[in-house]
Every structure is written in C-alpha cells, then in structure tokens.
Chains A and B, each alone.
Chain A
Amino acid sequence: MKRLKHLALGLICLALVAGVGPAAPIATAQSATPANPIVRMATTTSTDQSGLLDYLKPFFEKETGYKLQWVAVGTGASLKVGEKGDCDVVLVHARALEDAFMAAGFGQERKDVMYNDFIILGPASDPAGLASATSAVDAFGRIMKAGSTFISRGDNSGTDVKEKDVWKAASLSPKGAGWYKEVGQGMAQVIVMADQLGAYTLSDRATWLNMKDKFNLKILYQGDKVLFNPYGVITVNPAKWPKTNIEGARAFMNWLTGPRGRELIASYKIGGEQCFYLY
C-alpha cells in the first residue's frame, strides 16, 4: 500500500508540475481581449518554416489582443482544413486552388498578401547542367534527360502544384520514373532529403534562406516568370461554418494586409536577405 501511496503522490506532483509548467504568455494591456480571442489558421509549411509566422505572431497578438495558432500542412491540406471548418483563416500559395476554394463558397474573402519566387536547388556538381538552362521548362527538361534524382513534394502543396505546372508546361510526365521521387513531406524535410541524396528539388525561396547554412545544395536555376510565388489569405466562410471565429479571422487578414503587416513582412530578413515582397 505504501508503494501505491508514493506512486499516487508522484503522479499528483507530476500533474501539478505539468499544470503549472509553461507559464501562459503574459497578457498585454495594449488592447482589450476580444470575446473569442483564439484565431486558428491553416497554412503552408513555407510561411512556418521560413520563420515568418513566428516573427509576426507577437506583433499581431500585442496589437490586436488576439492569439494566433496555426497548423503548417501545405496549401492543399490547408484548404481542406478550411473546407471542413477546422480553422478560421488560411494563408496559402496556389492561386488556382484558392480560386476553386472561393468559387465553392468555402471562403468569405480573399486578399493578396505578398510574393516571392521558387528556385531550383541541386547538388553543386550539377549533373544535369542547370547552370546553363534558359527557362524553368528547359531546366526540368535537362533533369529528366539526365535522369538526375529529383525530389517532389508530392503533397498537393503550393510548391507541389507549381512543380506539376512546370512539368505540364514542358509537356513531360516524370511520374513513376525511378529518378523522380514523390515523398509527401513538407518543404524543409524535402530539402533535407535532397541534400542527403544529392538530388534536385523545387523550393520556395524563404524556406531555403532559412535553412541554407546547414546544407550543401545550391540554387541552380532561378528568375523565370513561371516561378512567381504569390501568397493569399482567405477567411473561412461563416455561412458554411458559423462556429468559426470570423471576427478574429478578419482581424488577422486586415492586420496582415494592412500597413503594419506589410511593414513587418517587408522587414523580415534572413541573413540580410528579404524573404517576401509586397505588391
């Protein structure tokens, strides 16, 4: 019985310690707390893994009184989360999917936020000769011709959609080829894998800037207009899901696309390089 008592005591202590553990962020008196303070966002891995959201979060929370929480799952998955009403707002980058989302009535309002571009990463040895490629389509053609390993997100994320578009524009279909690996992972994971395998991959610039110091990959192709990467923010339609926090979603959308959000996005730099640009 004594042992049991000790164990029970231990468990209670554990629960207490765990309960007290991480102190809640200190509320700021800057702005009144809204009735429904938690804004839940589904977003692409690039806004998260580039560090942008961690940078914006404290400013948004201090200036509006809302609390921002997000899951980073890729554009296709984010829009699905929004479709099911499991978030209040989405921040994504695949215009065609966004337009379909709006057309189906899942979104209430969409606004442009920022843009950057996609880049093709690969090993410094550049076996497919991308350094002399003349366009993104040409670069992809060279990779296929050389049969160099290429890692595809394969997760219907914004980057994945863009990559598929480029293959389509090149009238090539790499699906199923041994050198073409669809891994179904986030951007950072794919960069790690490409680095390990000495493979090519398509990445958004921001995620790469945040990671490049640790890896041997190089930017081997960039600059084609096709690789333009615009981000949009969409509030989930409360007509579909009345329980979503539409006030919070609007507050975030307006803050992000307003002067304060714009100023902060433009000022976000990694290693002195700007990650996202404004319209």
Chain B
Amino acid sequence: MREAFYLLISGDSETWGIIGRSLRFSVFSTIFSVLPGIPVGVALASREFRGRRALSAVINALTAMPTVVVGLFVYSLISRSGPLGNFNFLYAPAGIIMGQALLAFPIVASLSYAGLSKLDPRFRETLITLGAGRFSRLTATVREAKTLLVVAIVTAFGRVTGEVGVCMMLGGNIRFVTRTMTTAIALDTSKGEFERAMSLGVVLLCIALAINLAIHALAPREN
C-alpha cells in the first residue's frame, strides 16, 4: 500500500500517463454519447410518436448492456474484415472511444428522458404558445432541466471510466497507447504486481467517489 501511494506521489510518469489517457478517453466518449443521447432523451420526453414506448423500453434495457457485448459488436464493425475496417480504429483510441460512447449512449438517453419527463407538462405548452421554434424549445428545455441532464452526463462518465471490457477488447491494452486504468489493473494483478494496480485502484475509487458526490450535490432534492 505504501508503494502504491509512492508511485502516485513520486509522479511515476507511466502511471500518470495511464490516468491521463483513461480520463481523456472517458471525456471524449462521454461527449460522443451526450451529443445523440440528450436529443433522443428530449424527443422521448416531449413528443408523441409511434413506437415511443417501445423505444424507451429498448433504451432502458440497453443501459444494462454488458461491456463485453458492446466490445464484441464494435469489434465486428471495426475489424479489418468488418464494414469500418479501413479506418484503423481497432487497437487504437478511436475504437475505445467508439465502444464507450455506445455503452454510455443509452445511459444518457434514458436518464435525460427520465429527468425531462419530470418537467411540468405545461412548460412545453407554454413554450409553444409563446411561439418558440423547435430549436429554441430544445434549448429552453435543456436549460430548465440542466441539473438532471448533468447527472446523466456524470453518470455516463463514471460508467465509461470504470469499465474494462471495451478497453481490453477494442484497445488491446497496448502500453503507452491504449492501456487505461482498468486494463492496467487487470494486467498488473494477473502478473502478481499489485503496487501499481493498487495505486490505480485508489485513483479509480477517488473518481467514483467524486462522481457520486457530484451527483448527490446536483440531484434535486425530493420533497
């Protein structure tokens, strides 16, 4: 345990490189999951269309998607023998970000849907009465429900930071390129080198804790 902290405090460059890389991948994959995720959540919450209930049920179910299934699916897409094989996404950061974004998308969509459906239904009617166009309705809705949306985003970030399946299958755990906190922990533990595994575990725990505190602080109180 002492060595674990020493690795962190002494600024071991590989350890910090792994932490930075993990966060970078998570930031990008969260962004790419939010871009389609929030509009889908808004659409589900504010419009009536055929198959809406089915779609929300599917998206809810997908929030529990195992990471290895996402990994397998994206692998078959981005392998050289797959339809996106020419882009060199496999065993590269792009593959990890793609898989993690796909993993986080249903979380963002379903949590933002859940958050937005708590809004007063008269809110939307008021906007329409005031003559707001489609885009300004979207931005006004997002502004109104911002804390709930932030909770969705932070939850998605937490999910992708802590997952190991996508990173391992699509990134290949390449040292200095796609080795992340979770895959490094898996590798170090498997080799019986517990010091760095432990120091990365501490960092992951701190991130998880920070995320939960953030959610706790941001989530509106139930009265």
Task: Tell me the interface secondary structure of chain A in the complex.
Answer: mixed
Residues of A within 8 A of B136 (CB): none
A184-222: which have CB < 8 Å to B?
Answer: 185-186, 188-189, 191-192, 211, 214-215
CB-based contact B20/A21 at 8 Å: yes
Cβ proximity bits A109-150 to B, threshold 8 Å, 1 near / 0 not: 000000000000000000000000000000000000000000
Residues of A within 8 A of B16 (CB): 21-22
In Å, the complex CA distance between A109 and B85 comes to 23
Residues of A within 8 A of B218 (CB): 3
CB-based contact B190/A188 at 8 Å: yes
Closest Cβ–Cβ distance, residue A183 to chain B (whole Å): 11
Q: Which of B19, B85, B150, B172 contacts A4 (CB 8 A)?
A: B150
CB-based contact A22/B85 at 8 Å: no
CB-based contact A85/B80 at 8 Å: yes
Asked if B21 lies at the interface with its beta carbon under 8 angstroms from chain A, I say: yes
* In the complex, residue of chain B having the shortest beta-carbon distance to the beta carbon of A38: B88
Known contacts A7-B150, A40-B91; decide if A18 and B80 are in contact (CB<8 Å).
no
Residues of B within 8 A of A244 (CB): 80
Task: Tell me the interface secondary structure of chain B in the complex.
Answer: helix
Cβ proximity bits B134-175 to A, threshold 8 Å, 1 near / 0 not: 000000000000110010000000000000000000001111
Stretch in contact with the other chain, from A9-17, A224-232, A252-260, A263-271 = A9-17
CB-based contact A4/B173 at 8 Å: no
Residues of B within 8 A of A71 (CB): 91, 172-174
Closest Cβ–Cβ distance, residue A249 to chain B (whole Å): 14
Asked if B13 lies at the interface with its beta carbon under 8 angstroms from chain A, I say: yes
In Å, the complex CA distance between A144 and B213 comes to 55
CB-based contact B27/A11 at 8 Å: yes
CB-based contact B177/A188 at 8 Å: no
Cβ proximity bits B29-56 to A, threshold 8 Å, 1 near / 0 not: 0000000000000000000000000000
Closest Cβ–Cβ distance, residue B153 to chain A (whole Å): 9
Asked if A108 lies at the interface with its beta carbon under 8 angstroms from chain B, I say: no
In Å, the complex CA distance between A221 and B70 comes to 43
In Å, the complex CA distance between A54 and B174 comes to 11
In Å, the complex CA distance between A215 and B24 comes to 36
Residues of B within 8 A of A185 (CB): 190
Known contacts A18-B23, A22-B20; decide if A188 and B192 are in contact (CB<8 Å).
yes
Closest Cβ–Cβ distance, residue A48 to chain B (whole Å): 9
Residues of A within 8 A of B85 (CB): 85, 243
Residues of A within 8 A of B91 (CB): 40, 69, 71, 86-87
Q: Which of A21, A72, A84 contacts B80 (CB 8 A)?
A: A84
CB-based contact B24/A19 at 8 Å: yes
Give 7 pairs: A residue, B residue, CB < 8 Å, sorted on A: A4-B147, A15-B28, A22-B16, A22-B17, A84-B80, A85-B85, A211-B191
New A-B pairs, 20, CB < 8 Å, besides A22-B16, A241-B80:
A1-B146, A4-B146, A4-B147, A7-B214, A18-B23, A18-B24, A21-B16, A21-B17, A21-B24, A22-B13, A40-B91, A69-B91, A71-B172, A84-B81, A86-B81, A86-B90, A188-B192, A189-B190, A189-B191, A243-B86
Q: In the A-B complex, list the 8 residue pairs whose CB atoms are closest, starting with the nearest.
A: A21-B20, A85-B80, A22-B17, A71-B172, A18-B24, A189-B190, A18-B23, A188-B191
